[in-house]
Amino acid sequence: MFGCCALIRKSAIFFLLIGLLPVADFAQARPSSVKAPGKSRSPAAAKEGTGPKGIVVAEEEATVFNAPDFDAQVIATLPPGAVYDISSGKKGPFYKIRVKPGLVGWVSDADVRPLATSAVNRIEEMKKAATGKATAPGAGAKDSALGESPSDKTKGGARKPLHRNRYGGLGLESVNYVEDTMGKSRRENLLFYGARFTGPNVIVSGDMLTDAEILFHSGAPKYYESATGNPAGGFILLGNFLFINEVPQTPTVMAYYGFGPTFRWSHFEVTLDQTTMKRSYALDDMTLGAVFNAGVAFGVGRYAVRLDGRYYWETQKYTSFALAFQREF
pLDDT tens sequence across 10-31? 444 444 444 443 433 433 333 3
pLDDT at 121: 64
Residue type, 53: K
Same domain, 121 and 167: no
Residue 67's pLDDT band (boundaries 50, 70, 90)?
very high
pLDDT value at 178 more than 60: yes
Q: Is residue 92 domain-resident? A: yes
pLDDT at 325: 97
**Vertex 13 angle, CA 7 and 16, to 5°:** 140
Residue 329's pLDDT band (boundaries 50, 70, 90)?
confident
Same domain, 260 and 214: yes
Sequence-ordered list of residues with C-beta below 8 angstroms from that of 74, at least 6 positions apart, any chain = 63, 64, 65, 66
pLDDT tens sequence across 70-129? 888 999 888 887 888 888 888 989 999 988 888 999 998 888 888 766 665 666 666 666
Sequence-ordered list of residues with C-beta below 8 angstroms from that of 234, at least 6 positions apart, any chain = 219, 220, 266, 267, 268, 269, 283
**Vertex 327 angle, CA 58 and 216, to 5°:** 125
Q: Is residue 233 domain-resident? A: yes
| CATH number of the domain where residue 207 is located | 2.40.160.20
pLDDT greater at residue 132 or residue 7: 132
pLDDT tens sequence across 254-287? 999 999 999 999 999 998 887 778 888 899 999 9
Q: What is the mean pLDDT of residues 33-55?
A: 47
Q: Is residue 303 domain-resident? A: yes
Residue 130's pLDDT band (boundaries 50, 70, 90)?
low
Q: Are 207 and 196 in contact (CB under 8 A)?
A: no
Q: Which domain holds residue 108?
A: 51-136+152-158
Backbone φ and ψ of 105, nearest 5°: -150, -160
Domain end among 102, 126, 158: 158
Same domain, 89 and 224: no
Sequence-ordered list of residues with C-beta below 8 angstroms from that of 327, at least 6 positions apart, any chain = 147, 167, 168, 169, 302, 303, 304
pLDDT at 284: 92
pLDDT at 55: 73
Same domain, 208 and 117: no
Q: Is residue 35 domain-resident? A: no
Same domain, 210 and 108: no
Q: What is the mean pLDDT of residues 46-70?
A: 73
Same domain, 73 and 184: no
Q: Is residue 32 domain-resident? A: no
pLDDT value at 136 more than 80: no
Q: Are 301 and 317 in contact (CB under 8 A)?
A: no
Same domain, 183 and 278: yes
Q: Please tell me the distance from the alpha carbon of residue 23 to that of residue 18, in angstroms, as a whole number.
A: 10
Q: Is residue 41 domain-resident? A: no
Q: Is residue 23 domain-resident? A: no
Same domain, 315 and 206: yes
pLDDT at 195: 97
Same domain, 204 and 118: no
Same domain, 108 and 169: no
pLDDT at 162: 80
pLDDT value at 303 more than 50: yes
Same domain, 229 and 319: yes
Number of structural domains found in the chain: 2
**What global pTM score does this model have?**
0.53
pLDDT at 1: 42
Same domain, 314 and 227: yes
Backbone φ and ψ of 247, nearest 5°: -130, 85
| CATH number of the domain where residue 125 is located | 2.30.30.40
Q: Is residue 214 domain-resident? A: yes
Sequence-ordered list of residues with C-beta below 8 angstroms from that of 265, at least 6 positions apart, any chain = 236, 237, 284, 285, 286
pLDDT at 153: 52
